[in-house]
Amino acid sequence: MSDLRTTVTELVTGLGTLGYGSIREALEARPAEMVSVSPETWDILRRAHDGRAHDADFEQAWSNGVAFAHAADGLRGRRPAVIEWKGPHRAPGDEVAPIDLRIDHVYLISCKYRSNITINASPAYVFKRLLRGAHGVRGGDWYAEVAASEHQELYEAVVAEMGGRDFPHLAVDLDQAQRKRLSQELRAGWPGATRHLYEKLIEVVARKTAELWRAQLAHLNESEGMLWRILRMGSAPYFILGTSASGLLRLRVATPWDWRVQFRLRRFGCEAQPGGQPKIGWAARVEDRHSGVLYSVQGHVEVRWSHGRFSGNPEAKVYLDTPHSGVPGYFPLN
């Protein structure tokens, strides 16, 4: 099951579209329109509401659902017949948009409550495949691929500090049990003088990753498509309902077709940035075709071990640093 806060925000957003007078009334009704919610999940939701620890999440999600129910871009006061909740499972195929709710088989909603992560995938999928194709494809050990000598040097120093202890000579030969044990040993931090070797590793990984990304974008002429995919724009429009640092978030996300009618990409670039783990910043310069207004859209990608130091292959988290309301192609809900 997804974490409780995610369950609350997604389901209560859906409940808010159904026209009930209050959250309590909707929870007691357990409306049949919410076709993919089990009795057990209803019980969890009711206990969460009674517990009061998630009051703000309930109120914000409810408010967003009510707003969508009355919006001209949304349901226009019409009560939904069917609300489907994706829940915690992964999409079975390629899915450009991160959809959590589908209303009446037409309205697609992404619930984004206090998160500026747009994508979590393998580094190879982001920097080599440029987010094209199957989202679920996983890559190998990115650190060993782009900074092999620095990765191995750090590993050898760590193992030496730990006294050897039956670890293989090469980091790439670690099995799952050894990775887990090494990660547990390193939970408290980098031992002895190995910290500076880790800092060297992350600097090299960030620099070489940025170089590779730039080369891929130039070779494939994919800058515009890259921006669309980072912003999760696909063949169908959808809505983002949630919260951000500045308040409630209610947006309609354009398709690439819509985007190109109104905007043109002037520049997309990336560069290594300092940080506690490999970090690659990205930035786009976008012009409004009609007004000539220029927009700057920025974000970054963090590459990190997925389950602790040396445990699990590195993953890439793509962040949007520009407020959602300032992104060309993210239109306010009317």
- Close Cβ partners of 271 (under 8 Å, ≥ 6 residues apart): 210, 280, 281
For residue 221, what are its two tokens? 């002429």
- Close Cβ partners of 11 (under 8 Å, ≥ 6 residues apart): 34, 37, 41, 45, 61, 85
Q: Which is nearest to 159 in space by CA: 188, 194, 187?
A: 194
- In contact, 100 and 239? CB cutoff 8 Å: no
Q: Is residue 81 scored above 90 in pLDDT? A: yes
pLDDT tens digits along 282-322: 999 999 999 999 999 999 999 999 889 999 899 999 999 99
Q: Band of the pLDDT at 135, cuts 50, 70, 90?
A: low
- β-pair type (238-244, 107-113): parallel
How many CA atoms does the CB half-sphere of 193 hold within 13 Å? Answer: 3
Q: How far is the C-alpha of 333 from the C-alpha of 323, rounded, in Å?
A: 15
Position 220 scores a pLDDT of 82
Q: Is residue 1 scored above 50 in pLDDT? A: no
Q: Band of the pLDDT at 88, cuts 50, 70, 90?
A: confident
**Across 104-111, average pLDDT:** 97
Q: Is residue 137 scored above 80 in pLDDT? A: no
**Across 72-93, average pLDDT:** 87
Q: Band of the pLDDT at 164, cuts 50, 70, 90?
A: confident
Q: Is residue 332 scored above 50 in pLDDT? A: yes
Q: For residue 69, what are the CA distances in angstroms to 23, 35, 66?
A: 15, 18, 5
Position 182 scores a pLDDT of 93
Which SS3 state, helix, strand or coil, does residue 301 take? strand
- In contact, 128 and 216? CB cutoff 8 Å: yes
Cα angle 278, 284, 290 (rounded to 5 degrees) comes to: 165
Q: Where are the domains of the chain?
A: 4-113, 121-332
- In contact, 233 and 255? CB cutoff 8 Å: yes
Q: How far is the C-alpha of 70 from the C-alpha of 199, rounded, in Å?
A: 52
Q: How far is the C-alpha of 233 from the C-alpha of 48, rounded, in Å?
A: 33
Residue given tokens 């927009």 in the structure block? 295
Q: Answer positive or negative: Cα dihedral of 306, 307, 309, 310.
A: negative
- Close Cβ partners of 168 (under 8 Å, ≥ 6 residues apart): 174, 178
Average pLDDT, the chain: 94
Q: Band of the pLDDT at 139, cuts 50, 70, 90?
A: confident
Residue given tokens 């292959």 in the structure block? 313
Q: Is residue 57 scored above 60 in pLDDT? A: yes
What DSSP letter does each residue of 80-119 carry, written as one string? PS-EEE-TTSPPSS--SS---EEETTTEEEEEEES--EEE
For 263, phi then psi, to 5°, come to -125, 160
- In contact, 56 and 64? CB cutoff 8 Å: no
